[in-house]
Structure 1
Amino acid sequence: MLRLAVASMVGTTIEFYDFFAYGTAAALVLGPLFFPTVSPLVGTLAAFGTFGVGFIARPLGSVLFGHIGDRLGRRPVLVFSLLLTGLATVAVGFVPTYQRIGMAAPLLLLVLRFLQGLGVGGEWGGAVLLTAEHAPAHRRALWSSFPQTGPSVGFLLANGITLTLSATLPDDSFLSWGWRVPFWAAGVLAAAGLLLRTQLAETPDFQALAENESRASLPFAEVVRGHWRLVLLTAGGLSIGYSVFYTVTTWSLSYGTERLGIDRTLMLGCVMASVAVSGAATPVVALLGDRFGRRTLCLTGCTAVALWMFPLMALLRTGRPALMLLGFVVAMLAFITAFGVVGAYVPELYDARVRCTGASVGYNLAGVLGGAVTPLVATATAGSGGPPWGVAAYLTGIALLSLGCFVLLPETRPATIASRPATDPAPA
């Protein structure tokens, strides 16, 4: 289990490193480099628009790779999704700017970001199923927290490289070539991840399906017919995690540097520290999920987010590093209280024959609402120059939506995921 869990965490680390490298670049440099003919605010919105394309592609990737996972196995998903994301990310580092090739530059960004999203759309489902379908039922949340920790590690890697370059390079060098280095580094990481993943074994649950010839012929069609309500509730419940994470890690970078005039390196440092705290807390939350239930932790996390969004914006607006850090840390701990257990919770909701498709589609639909829309809404809402209370109100509303969805979902601990019903479970 330890070897499998580490392998899944390494994979999600690399995949989300690729995804987050783009988000940081969108917040800091893509606006002026690829949309220089518009105002700074519109340029930032356009950069976040290309960022959002990746989230729109993720549900499509979850359908594509979910079909592969439910028909051919979880292991091929882990290999092909990493290969696609790695190649697209390296290519972003070679795209010429608007000054060199005009409108072709942002169009190339859109295409590559879309391919990134397709790959990441398949990654999460394959990684969590690798651990969830091998783990003992009483420790499934703990082992499934390893791939849930991967995004935090990937974020720290991507932003650690960006922070180092930002702190050591002159601004003109950083804007010229320094921002591209994290994308080039993705090639080395992807190669290492592929070497590791090609040595993994298939999960027992899928082997049983293959041996019994009980695999779904069209997994997505079966999910739409028998699990549509469950998919929508899953997406609504998980949307709060995306909203909080990308508010802290992406929108706040843009707001702090452009609107508050805070040094880029200082903002990155505060954000990275809060992500490190949430990553360290993930296995602790997972242990609590094994002890007290997945749904209980999700309800607690959503409630904490709803209560903290207005204090978060008040602390951010002060521009003081210690107060901003406090706001970010509490927000990220509230977020991970819910998200630390979803690696076990979401797969447990679905029958094994459509688990890869159902879990992946629900998870990535949440990304459209929470990850793609939130930076755009937050930037537009805070663009007038006043306090970002509209951002706080929006996030509070998302938290209440997620809370309502989790109320309607059942508890799954300590059920064995192989025995889940083939149709939507009754509300708890």
Structure 2
Amino acid sequence: MTSTNNAAKAVTRKPPPGALKAYVASLTGTSLEYYDFAIYSVASAAIFPKIFFPAGDDFVALILSFSTYAVGYFARPIGGVIFGRLGDKIGRKYVLVFTLVLIGVATVLIGALPDYSAIGAAAPALLVLLRLAQGIGVGGEWGGAVLLSSEFGDPNKRGFWSSAAQIGPPAGNLMANGVLAVLAATLTESALLSWGWRVAFLSSALLVIFGLVIRLKLEETPVFKAIQAQGERPKAPIKDVFTTEPRALIAAALSRVCPDILYGLFTVFLYVYATKELGMTTGNVLAAILIGSAFQLFLIPAAGALTDRFNRRWVYGISAVATAVFIPIFFVMIQGRSVAVLTIGTVIGLALHAFMYGPQAAFITEQFPAHLRYAGSSLAYTLAGVIGGGFAPIIFTALYGAANHGWYLIAGYLLLAAIVTIVGMVLGRDPQPEEEERLLQAAHSQPAV
């Protein structure tokens, strides 16, 4: 990996007046959507095994519940293909409005879904369908949210501007865990399982309305307007990505593997390990994740900005190496069953995630030319999610069982994930903001086509 950051060579473009508004819209909209997704993540570990999958065996029920969690990741490529294509053809704004509605409606319907005791096998079947809709929406959401903020901002500072969408998952996770923590603290376990968990899902309706108001007021990005003016909108963006940008697609996809798996460990599987193996309470784990997510709100944009000054691939790669080293240390730390140590370890783990996830959006989008960014970024993001985050909780649980409730195989899994992501860094390219500058300058005096 070269240590030269090409961003420093380009002429700085002053962000247009709508840049800050786009940053806020990207951040808030993605936060609301990931609130919906995060609620499901938590519920799949703590709630759904008991009410949707009463298999008579806690381990089997957990595997089944995590399978529906994985469905959301498997559905993301569908959303990436559908909305990635539309995003490069009709623009970023309207696609983002539709994805917000899709995820919001699916989440509210999950909150109203009867459980296994009421409708039998139809309950988990409907749950899978609604999870599928959530995944399709998220698959189309991420690429557009990233482009919304980064294409308004200075291309030489894409690490910072792109981080708006990256703040969404920890912000959504913070809200989701906060709501569930309050419910868990104020309700009995029977009340939480019977109706309390539904409050978290149903309340997302208000959040979706708030997000829609923001997104409907947005303008299209300057870069997409320039693509229109130049007549460069692709006819078949998905096909073009596979045929003309295969290395970029592979590099961008591999970059996602380690942070996705690491996030799954600390926000999903940690519930299982800390409660079943260490005897801690759900509240203990929720509090640790809440604190770690709060730190991420600041670390993610800071990490993105850091990679605008230092080579993005080096910062990302070093963070992947640090992850592989830290995971065994983390498991050794928490064997003492100290809540404080669990919290400190979770903060460090999510901080390492932030230093990969913060610059991730910039790294992925800058692998592709402007006219293929939505499709290319969405495909890379969603395909990697299947092999990374989608399978992670199931693999964690299987490794946990295979190692007789030990953590050694889990640490090895993270080591492999770190190696895969480092390969992505080696295959990737450094920023080329001058490409965007030429497009904007050439289109400046031309009418849209």
Q: Do Structure 1 and Structure 2 share a fold, with TM-score over 0.5?
A: yes
Q: Which residue number in structure 1 is paired with residue 420 of structure 2?
A: 401
Tell me if the contact between 1:253 and 1:264 (Cα under 8 Å) persists in the aligned partners. Answer: yes
Does residue 89 of the first structure (1) align with residue 107 of the second (2)? yes
Q: Tell me how far 1:303 sits from its aligned partner.
A: 1.1
Indicate whether 1:41 and 2:59 are aligned: yes
Query: How far off its partner does 1:413 sit?
Result: 6.0
**Cα distance in structure 2, aligned partners of 1:392 and 1:353:** 40
SS of 1:318's equivalent?
coil
| Counterpart among 382, 391, 395 of residue 410 in structure 2 | 391
Q: Which residue of 2 aligns with 1:379?
A: 397
Which shifted more, 329-338 or 2-11?
329-338
| 1:175 equivalent among 178, 187, 193 | 193
Counterpart residue number, 1:123:
141
User: Is 1:26 aligned with 2:61?
Assistant: no
Using the alignment, how far apart are the partners of 1:195 and 1:70 within structure 2? 23
Q: How does 1:203-214 map to 2 (within 5 A)?
A: 203-214=221-232
**Cα distance between partner residues in 2 of 1:122 and 1:315:** 39
How far off is 1:229 after superposition?
2.5
2: distance between equivalents of 1:295 and 1:419?
A: 24
The residue that corresponds to 2:3 in the other structure is: none
Structure 1 contact 81–122 (Cα < 8 Å) conserved:
yes
Checking the alignment, whether the CA contact within 8 Å between 1:351 and 1:419 is kept in structure 2 is no
Q: Distance in 1 between matches of 2:310 and 2:85?
A: 33
Deviation at 1:59, TM superposition (A): 1.1
User: Counterpart of 2:387?
Assistant: 369
Q: Quick one: distance in 2 between partners of 1:132 and 1:266?
A: 37
TM-score by length of 2: 0.91
Q: Give the conservation status (yes or no) of the 8 Å contact 1:235–1:363.
A: yes
Aligned residue in 1 for 2:218: 200
Q: What secondary structure is seen at the aligned counterpart in 2 of 1:202? A: coil
Please give the secondary structure, in 1, of the residue aligned with 2:401.
Answer: coil
In structure 2, the residue matched to 1:103 is 121
Structure 2 CA distance for aligned equivalents of residues 25 and 102 of structure 1: 19
Indicate conservation of the 8 Å contact 2:263/2:350, yes or no: yes
SS at the partner of 1:411?
A: coil
| Residue 302 (structure 2) pairs with residue 284 (structure 1) | yes
Worse-superposed segment, 47-56 or 30-39: 30-39
Equivalence for 1:412: 431
User: Which residue number corresponds to residue 269 of structure 1?
Assistant: 287
> Is contact 2:252–2:363 with CA below 8 Å preserved after alignment?
no
1:187-219 residue CA offsets vs partner (Å, 9 max, x unmatched): 110111011100000011111221222211111
3-state SS, counterpart of residue 206 of structure 2 = helix
CA distance in 1, matches of 2:437, 2:254: 24
In the other structure, the counterpart of 2:320 is 302
Letter in 2 for 1:254: V
> Does the 8 Å contact 2:255/2:360 carry over to 1?
no
> Where does residue 316 of structure 1 map in the other structure?
334
| Greater shift in the superposed pair: 52-61 or 327-336 | 327-336
Does the Cα contact within 8 Å between 2:145 and 2:165 map onto a contact in 1? yes
Give the drift of 1:88: 0.3
The aligned counterpart of 2:180 is 162
**C-alpha deviation, 1:396, in angstroms:** 1.1
CA RMSD after TM alignment? 1.4
1:25-83 per-position Cα deviation (integer Å, ceiling 9, x unaligned): 00101001111123101100100000000000011101111111000001111100001
Aligned residue number for residue 244 of structure 1: 262
CA shift in 2, pair 1:415/1:304, >3 Å: farther
> What residue is the counterpart of 1:113 in the other structure?
131
Structure 2: runs of 5+ lacking an equivalent? 1-18, 440-449
1:271-318 deviations in whole A, cap 9, x for unaligned?
111121122111211221110122122112111111111112222333
Amino acid at match of 2:399: T
- Work out the CA distance in 1 between the residues paired with 2:244 and 2:195: 50
Which runs of at least 4 in structure 1 moved beyond 6 Å after TM superposition?
Answer: none
Structure 1 339/415 Cα, relative in aligned 2: closer, same or farther at 3 Å?
farther
Structure-2 residue corresponding to 1:328 = 346
Identity over aligned pairs, percent? 36
- 1:335-386: CA deviation from partner (whole Å, max 9, x where unpaired): 1111111222211111111110101110121211221111101111112543
- Secondary structure of 2:280 counterpart: coil
